[in-house]
C-alpha cells in the first residue's frame, strides 16, 4: 500500500512538472522586429553605423566628404551646411541631401562604444546651430562641422579618440571625414543614392 501511495504521488509530481514544460515549449516565442534597411538594399541599419560619402568640391554639398551616425531611432545625426547646424534626418531625408548616383559607405567601429556614440549624437545634435570649419579646440560645440561632431560623439559618448592620434577635447585641430574610413573603422557595405 505504501508503494502504491508513493507511486501515485511520484506520478502526480511528474505530470505536474511535464505538462507545464511541454505547454511552454510549444508556445511560439515573440518575433523580433527587424531593423529598417538602407534604401534599395537588404542591408539592415544598425545603431552606431557611420555613413560616409565622398562628396567633392562641386558635388551636391560643395564640401569634401561627409559623415553622419545612425541613432537608436534609426535617424542619421549629422552637422551640415545645408541647415547651418545639427540635424536628425530620416534615411530618406539624408539621402536627399546627396546627388543621384552618389555612393554612401557604411562603416562599423571595430570596438565597443558605437551605440554610446550614437546616443551622445542624438542628445547633442540640437546644440549645434552654426556650421563652420575652423581650427579650434575639438571641445567647441558651436560652430561645428560633420566630422568633428562625429569625433565628439565617440570621444564623449564612448571615451575614444577614434582617429587614434591621442587627440583630446583640448587639442586644436581639424577632423577630416575620411578619417572615419580607417583607424578603428571597417567598411561594411555601401549603397547608391537614387
The answer to whether the bond into 143 is cis (omega within 30° of 0) is yes
Q: Regarding the domain with residue range 50-192, which homologous superfamily does it belong to in the CATH classification?
A: endopeptidase domain like (from Nostoc punctiforme) (3.90.1720.10)
Q: What are phi and psi of 23, to 5 degrees?
A: -65, -40
Domain segments of the chain: what residues?
A: 50-192
176-47-175 Cα angle (round to 5) = 10
Q: Is 28 exposed, middle or buried (0-12, 13-18, 19+ CB in 10 A)?
A: exposed
Do the Cβ atoms of 130 and 141 come closer than 8 Å?
no
| Mean pLDDT, residues 20-48 | 76
Q: What's the pTM?
A: 0.81
Instruction: Evaluate if residue 176 carries a pLDDT over 80.
Output: yes
Instruction: Evaluate if residue 15 carries a pLDDT over 60.
Output: no
Choose among 146, 156, 65, 169: nearest CA to 118: 156
pLDDT of res. 7: 55
Do the Cβ atoms of 184 and 160 come closer than 8 Å?
yes
pLDDT of res. 16: 46
With a pLDDT cut of 70, the percent of the chain lying above it is 79
Mean pLDDT of the chain: 85
Instruction: Evaluate if residue 25 carries a pLDDT over 60.
Output: no
Give tens-digit pLDDT for 76-88: 999 998 888 999 9
Q: What are phi and psi of 42, to 5 degrees?
A: -105, 15
Amino acid at each position: 500500500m505504501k508503494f502504491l501511495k508513493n507511486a501515485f504521488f511520484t506520478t502526480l509530481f511528474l505530470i505536474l512538472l511535464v505538462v507545464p514544460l511541454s505547454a511552454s515549449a510549444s508556445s511560439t516565442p515573440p518575433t523580433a522586429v527587424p531593423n529598417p534597411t538602407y534604401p534599395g538594399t537588404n542591408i539592415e541599419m544598425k545603431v552606431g553605423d557611420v555613413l560616409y560619402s565622398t562628396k567633392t568640391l562641386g558635388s551636391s554639398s560643395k564640401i569634401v566628404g561627409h559623415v553622419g551616425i545612425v541613432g537608436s531611432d534609426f535617424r542619421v545625426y549629422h552637422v551640415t551646411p545645408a541647415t547651418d547646424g545639427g540635424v536628425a534626418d530620416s534615411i530618406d531625408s539624408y539621402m536627399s541631401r546627396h546627388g543621384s548616383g552618389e555612393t554612401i559607405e557604411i562603416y562599423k567601429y571595430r570596438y565597443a562604444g558605437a551605440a554610446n556614440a550614437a546616443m551622445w549624437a542624438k542628445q547633442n545634435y540640437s546644440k549645434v546651430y552654426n556650421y563652420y570649419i575652423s581650427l579650434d579646440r575639438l571641445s567647441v560645440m558651436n560652430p561645428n562641422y560633420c566630422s568633428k561632431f562625429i569625433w565628439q560623439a565617440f570621444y564623449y559618448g564612448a571615451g575614444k579618440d577614434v582617429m587614434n592620434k591621442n587627440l583630446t577635447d583640448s587639442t586644436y585641430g581639424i577632423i577630416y571625414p575620411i578619417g572615419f574610413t580607417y583607424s578603428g573603422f571597417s567598411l561594411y557595405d555601401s549603397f547608391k543614392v537614387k
